[in-house]
Copies of this chain bind each other. A is one copy, B any other.
């Protein structure tokens, strides 16, 4: 399956290398690790926009995953370098929908649709802070 990335909006691209301990007895990256890889890409994207973890916490903000839907196309293996493309599909007043695709070259390894929402440090849902409108519209 060919990797598809939109050309009409800002897309963040990063890459990471599969590490030995992320494999399972099938010699594949265990599927739960893909969620961690995708998370690493989202967190990096936010940090590059000035919203590192530390800044978020100081501002009393958490961004939590509400829903996640993943398709796994082909397994990733040891030593491969995977590229992750991240973009925001829709930024609502409360929830934000992101799409992320992971590839080995032009080949799609996995795709993730995720819905995230802001909460305060006690976990109470809050509206998307206005500063993030610009961040998410990049």
Interface residues of A (CB under 8 A from B): 16-17, 19-21, 23-28, 30-33, 35-36, 39-40, 43-44, 47, 52-54, 57, 62, 64-72, 74-75, 78-79, 123
Top 3 A-B pairs, shortest CB-CB distance:
A32-B35, A19-B40, A20-B43
Cβ-defined partner of A39 (8 Å) among B17, B25, B32: B32
Query: How many copies are assembled?
Result: 4
| A32 proximity list for chain B (CB < 8 A) | 21, 32-33, 35-36, 39
For the A-B complex with A19-B36, A27-B53 known, give 17 more contacts whose Cβ atoms are closer than 8 Å: A19-B40, A20-B25, A20-B43, A21-B32, A21-B40, A24-B24, A25-B26, A25-B53, A28-B64, A31-B64, A32-B35, A54-B78, A66-B71, A67-B72, A68-B68, A68-B69, A68-B72
